[in-house]
Amino acid sequence: MYKIVSILKQIMPFLITLFLWRLAIYFWNPAGILCLIPVFYYTFVRPIKNFAIFGLFFCFLIDYRSDLALFWTCLYCLCYAINGFQNHIDFQHTNNNAIFIFMTFIGTGFFLLTIYGFSWTNLVNNLWLFLWLSVLYTPVTVLDNWVKS
């Protein structure tokens, strides 16, 4: 029984990411963008071995579904490169599971998308997605901390 629980704890981040990407609904989760939450969390805040490649693949899938030319993939790679400077920025030892860093990550992306194709509808949609992802970040990270303990 202990071995089964251990295996489930190891594959849980991958399953959550896959579930959130497949749960694509236009208003609540367009192009599966909610999977950015576990991708960010398990790559930068609580790193898991080989999850960066998995996260890169899912950023590519979000770009593919939303017809963006590698936008989230490049932003993810940029954040991964910034995370390499551990002497200046340390994502793992921040308060509130690095929610402010996550908000900066997605906020930068939505700001650039709003500037790229400015319209009031696009502005409201990106603002809604920013707020929705920021609110849902905490329950996903709390769920992970609960499962790990």
Q: Is-above-0.85 flag for pTM?
A: yes
Residue 40: the pLDDT is 94
Beta strands in 26-139 (DSSP E): none
Measured between alpha carbons, how far apart are the two ends of the chain, in Å? 16
Question: What is the Cα–Cα distance from 102 to 40, expressed in whole angstroms?
Answer: 7
Tens of pLDDT along 44-87?
Answer: 988 998 899 999 999 999 999 998 889 999 999 999 988 877 66
